[in-house]
Amino acid sequence: MADLTLTVTATQKQFMDADADEVLFGGAAGGGKSYGQLVDALLYALKYPQSRQLILRRSFPELEHSIIFSSLKFYPTKVAKYKSGAHTWEFTNQSLIEFGYLANEKDMLRYQGAEYDVVRFDELTHFTEEQYTYLMSRIRGVNNYPKQVKSSTNPGGIGHSWVKRRFIDGTEPNKVQTDKESGMRRIFIPSFVQDNLFLMEADKGYQKRLELLPEAERKALLYGEWEIFDGQVFAEWKNNPKGYLNRRFSHVISPFPIPPHWRRFRTFDFGYAKPFAVSWFAMDEDGRAYNYRELYGCTGTPDEGVRWTAQKIARAIREIEEREEKGRTITGYADPAIWNATGSNEGSIAEMMEREGVYFEKGKNQRLAGKMQVHYRLAFDEEGLPMLYFFDTCKHMIRTLPGLRYDSVSPEDVDTRQEDHLYDAMKYVLMSDPIAPRASVSPPSVSYHPLMEEPSAVEKRFVF
């Protein structure tokens, strides 16, 4: 018998105790995320004999210089041995902790056929959503051990948008949320440098160095803010669950019945190999726009189209409006390109859709003017009210709009290589009723701001 006593912070213990299928830990730099992962993996291996876990980074050098190096400092060699050739910790109770990497999409195939009880992503925003979901499928087994995917990360990186959508948008920190479509239970546990009293005591200048960073990096790494990142076009965007009902300082709100007298619009951007986008908007008496419905031709893989013909899209639009709109007048706007000749006997895309009873007017497609109309409408006034809202049922707009980045060649415009189809369609409606520039008021700080809290530590003793 031997004793192992480990000291962890309160937030690290909360991560270790989290009862959810998917757990995300972190937000700011220096919150002790990697150490929390290693302690949690160690205790799981000791508690559940013959268990298998996988810890992932984007490249093997990142693993070797950080998380593997850290594990060698405190993992108990009386009950576990590190096998450098296999990159594994092998325990006397036959549990296994494996270190792996996913430098590219092909690396996923190395885990084909593998089975794990827990998969752990260190720096989740460095991975793609496809890598994440594929490795989730490797979590399986006939034992009754807890099956989880547990991740840690900072904001930013190539995966910022999908991680934010999956764990942050429309959720409350530290509360388990159940996804309506998949039934998966998820939780986001914020962690800040101020929580890590060990780092704060050992390196008293660390927080000061974070405070000297440029604004976007400072907000991400010091305060763990997810709403802004380098290169983001619409930094005004807020998806605040506390604003759902009172509609203050949130662009995403709960659906409500659209009053019959409000003006209604349908807007369209055609796509075949890429997704097509149809959005319905209503405008109230003040000219405030509400995106209340969407039809998005995406396979489920981001930016991959379902390859519907113009006729099929038109029939789907007509069926929705016959069922939901009950004869109300809807003005349609579309990309002027759909009136171009296609070289077929069917005529242009617009003509094909007209034969199905779906009509559009040519939208104004000035890119920069349209982009500025989005900025003006997203701006909050002194009461926290924008001129543009999105029902939380418009999931693809909520997923894609805040993730749009600037073009490196045309730095004032959106990079058109992104999934910008719903954004493009929206501009045609906003350009039909443009508004004057509006100064934006910043929302108040969130209630769980770390600088208001005192850090704490918890000792965890394990006998093996």
- 340 φψ region: left (φ > 0), alpha (ψ -120 to 50), beta (else): beta
Taking only the tens place, the pLDDT of each residue in 187-215 is 999 876 544 444 334 444 544 554 554 55
Q: Cα(122)–Cα(37) distance, rounded to whole angstroms?
A: 8
The mean pLDDT value for 250-264 works out to: 95
Is there a single domain that holds both residue 217 and residue 245? no
Residue 442 in any domain: the answer is: no
Is there a single domain that holds both residue 33 and residue 177? yes
Residue 364 in any domain: the answer is: yes
Output the domain CATH number for residue 157.
Answer: 3.40.50.300
Q: Give the residue numbers spanning the domain of 408.
A: 241-432
420 by Cβ neighbours in 10 Å (0-12 / 13-18 / 19+) ranks as buried
Output the domain CATH number for residue 355.
Answer: 3.30.420.280
User: Residue 195 has what pLDDT?
Assistant: 47
Is there a single domain that holds both residue 90 and residue 184? yes
User: Residue 444 has what pLDDT?
Assistant: 62
Residue 217 in any domain: the answer is: yes
Does residue 7 sit in helix, strand or coil? strand
Residue 444 in any domain: the answer is: no
Question: For the chain, what percent of residues have pLDDT higher than 70?
Answer: 84
Q: Band of the pLDDT at 12, cuts 50, 70, 90? A: confident
Among residues 121, 123, 125, the alpha carbon closest in space to that of 138 is found at 121
Residue 231 in any domain: the answer is: no
402 by Cβ neighbours in 10 Å (0-12 / 13-18 / 19+) ranks as buried
Taking only the tens place, the pLDDT of each residue in 29-41 is 444 788 889 999 9
Is there a single domain that holds both residue 77 and residue 111? yes
Is there a single domain that holds both residue 209 and residue 273? no
Total tally of structural domains belonging to the chain: 2
User: Look-up: residue for tokens 């996804």?
Assistant: 179
Candidate ranges 183-197, 395-409, 412-426, 449-463; pick with highest mean pLDDT: 412-426
Is there a single domain that holds both residue 279 and residue 213? no
Crossing angle between the packed helical segments 10-17 and 33-47, to the nearest 10 degrees: 40
Is there a single domain that holds both residue 30 and residue 62? yes
The mean pLDDT value for 329-356 works out to: 94
User: Residue 133 has what pLDDT?
Assistant: 94
Q: Does 404 or 214 have the greater pLDDT score? A: 404
Q: Does 430 or 456 have the greater pLDDT score? A: 430
Is there a single domain that holds both residue 212 and residue 246? no
* Res. 300: pLDDT tops 60: yes
Q: Does 364 or 300 have the greater pLDDT score? A: 364
Q: Band of the pLDDT at 125, cuts 50, 70, 90? A: confident
* Res. 459: pLDDT tops 60: no
Among residues 100, 94, 223, the alpha carbon closest in space to that of 154 is found at 223
Is there a single domain that holds both residue 259 and residue 213? no
Range name among 12-26, 30-44, 104-118, 289-303 with the lowest pLDDT average: 30-44
Is there a single domain that holds both residue 393 and residue 419? yes
Is there a single domain that holds both residue 259 and residue 346? yes
Residue 234 in any domain: the answer is: no
Phi, psi of 166 (to 5 degrees): -75, -35
Is there a single domain that holds both residue 205 and residue 286? no
Candidate ranges 30-44, 160-174, 388-402; pick with highest mean pLDDT: 388-402
- Pairing between β-strand 277-283 and β-strand 361-362 as defined by DSSP bridges: unpaired
Residue 439 in any domain: the answer is: no
Q: Cα(68)–Cα(62) distance, rounded to whole angstroms?
A: 9
User: Residue 36 has what pLDDT?
Assistant: 87
The mean pLDDT value for 247-261 works out to: 93
Count of Cβ atoms closer than 10 Å to residue 451 Cβ: 11
The mean pLDDT value for 419-434 works out to: 96
* Res. 224: pLDDT tops 60: no
Residue 405 in any domain: the answer is: yes
